[in-house]
């Protein structure tokens, strides 16, 4: 039956009759058909495209984060390979030859012996100083020595861990007295020597008053860059002082209610938002993003017609005797919030937060349709673009919410927002007071 009714009206509109037809009835027929389509409701695409858009944005963000994770894994693999190559080079450099000189006063000969010191690069207790194992907390292994190793002593100075300059005091043992003698302060060997070799023979101690020692400084891998590369500054170098330490994105959606509507009005409202939080080393953060609101309301001015004359732009009827029956409105807004947010107990899984700021609003759609009743017939008069499509700073907002940090990066949020108009409005219905309840998902970089 509905299809036949629709087909009949469509044929009448496409092929009007040739005999004279009253223009008012013709407009009434067209308005009735528009109202019929309105009662059927828009298609599912027009009704659900904001929610689909809100669901698409987290999907795109997830794909972007997945690609970034894969790139980070490739960089980590490359850095691991480079570290392995550098360890191999360091291992080959530490396998350095050592020379031991021994003077025998009995047979008046000099013995020169060359050995290769084993590498310590792959040892868990290896340090360039060769005195303490900073990585494992254990003392460093003693270097490979010859048959005189029992007479060689290397020990750190007192409180070497707390001293400003670590020093290693080498001792020598004389064959005559068998007592240990410390070297003078001006002969203290710095701690950056990898191995210190002392020859504690009586002949050498008598003939050479100073301790005979060989000190090998630790090798260092130095990469020399060209002068132009060292002096050139790039864009990240200039932005590093102002680079934020906290960045998070969130997508939220939910219904909202308009408190400025009277008891004769009903509203079906919903909205979604994409929000970004930027912060530094303190819990106060900058909040910005974008929001999309859709507001459909229906008015019944049967009791108070003056209420609508003062609050809404009323289109005059065709006949002054006709009465206004209902008013249908559809408004869509694009909002850009800007404000500050303070988060409590950041280190805990559940953390509340408070925020406040201003809101820039741009109407995307503003249409009103009036239904009038005459003697024996009804007709509709509609008007579009009641609000200028300009971005203006008109509203203020305050929010309170709770978030659950269920992983290192991901979090769930539940928040309530109160938004009110602070700028002047030509009609009372534009002085909206909105209460929004939203839930969403966020990602912290």
Report how far apart the first and last C-alpha atoms of the chain are (Å, whole number): 58
Name the range with the highest mean pLDDT among 64-73, 190-199, 243-252, 436-445.
Answer: 436-445
The residue-averaged pLDDT of 361-368 equals 87
Q: Tens digit of pLDDT for each residue in 128-162? A: 433 333 333 444 444 443 333 333 333 333 344 43
Q: Tens digit of pLDDT for each residue in 265-279? A: 667 788 888 888 888
The mean of the pLDDT values for the chain is 67
The residue-averaged pLDDT of 291-298 equals 85
Which range is least confidently modeled, 275-284, 310-319, 330-339?
A: 310-319
Which range is least confidently modeled, 20-29, 131-140, 305-314, 345-354?
A: 131-140
Does the domain spanning 242-444 belong to CATH 3.40.190.10?
no
> Is a pLDDT exceeding 70 seen at residue 179?
no
pTM tops 0.85: no
Domains of the chain, residue spans: 1-13+22-41, 51-95, 97-207, 242-444
The residue-averaged pLDDT of 320-338 equals 85
CA-to-CA dists, residue 348 to 100, 114, 142, 343, 352, angstroms: 62, 62, 47, 11, 10
Q: How many CA atoms lie within 13 A of 352 on its CB side?
A: 4
> Is a pLDDT exceeding 90 seen at residue 397?
yes
Q: Could you give the CA distance from residue 445 to residue 443 in angstroms, rounded to a whole number?
A: 7
């Amino acid at each position: 039956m509905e299809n036949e009714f629709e087909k009949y009206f469509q044929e009448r509109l496409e092929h009007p009759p040739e005999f004279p037809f009253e223009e008012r009835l013709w407009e009434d027929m067209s308005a009735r058909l528009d109202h019929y389509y309105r009662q059927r409701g828009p298609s599912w695409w027009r009704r659900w495209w904001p929610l689909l858009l809100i669901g698409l944005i987290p999907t795109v963000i997830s794909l972007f984060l997945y690609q970034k994770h894969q790139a980070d894994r490739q960089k980590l693999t490359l850095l691991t390979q480079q570290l392995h190559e550098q360890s191999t080079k360091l291992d080959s450099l530490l396998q350095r030859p050592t020379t031991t000189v021994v003077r025998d006063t009995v047979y008046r000969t000099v013995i020169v012996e060359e050995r290769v010191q084993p590498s310590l690069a792959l040892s868990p207790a290896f340090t360039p100083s060769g005195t303490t194992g900073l990585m494992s907390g254990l003392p460093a292994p003693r270097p490979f020595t010859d048959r005189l190793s029992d007479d060689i002593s290397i020990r750190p100075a007192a409180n070497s861990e707390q001293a400003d300059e670590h020093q290693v005091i080498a001792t020598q043992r004389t064959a005559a007295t068998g007592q240990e003698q410390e070297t003078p302060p001006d002969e203290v060997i710095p701690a950056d020597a990898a191995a210190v070799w002392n020859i504690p023979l009586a002949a050498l101690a008598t003939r050479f008053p100073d301790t005979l020692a060989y000190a090998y400084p630790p090798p260092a891998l130095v990469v020399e860059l060209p002068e132009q590369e060292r002096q050139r500054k790039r864009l990240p170098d200039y932005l590093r002082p102002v680079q934020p330490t906290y960045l998070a994105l969130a997508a939220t959606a939910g219904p909202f209610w308009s408190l400025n509507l009277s008891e004769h009005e009903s509203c079906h409202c919903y909205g979604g938002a994409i929000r970004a939080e930027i912060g530094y080393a303190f819990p106060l953060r900058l909040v910005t993003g974008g929001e999309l609101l859709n507001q459909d309301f229906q008015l019944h001015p049967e009791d108070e017609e003056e209420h609508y004359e003062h609050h809404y732009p009323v289109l005059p009827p065709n006949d002054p005797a006709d009465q206004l029956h209902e008013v249908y409105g559809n408004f869509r807004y694009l909002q850009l919030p800007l404000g500050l947010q303070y988060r409590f107990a950041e280190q805990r899984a559940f953390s509340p937060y408070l925020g406040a700021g201003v809101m820039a609003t741009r109407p995307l759609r503003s249409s009103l349709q009036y239904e009038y009743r005459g003697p024996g017939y009804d007709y509709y008069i509609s008007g579009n673009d009641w609000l200028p499509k300009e971005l203006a700073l008109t509203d203020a907002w305050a929010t309170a919410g709770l978030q659950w940090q269920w992983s290192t990066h991901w979090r769930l949020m539940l928040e309530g927002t109160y938004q009110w108009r602070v700028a002047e409005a030509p009609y009372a219905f534009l002085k909206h007071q909105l209460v929004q309840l939203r839930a969403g998902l966020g990602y912290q970089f």
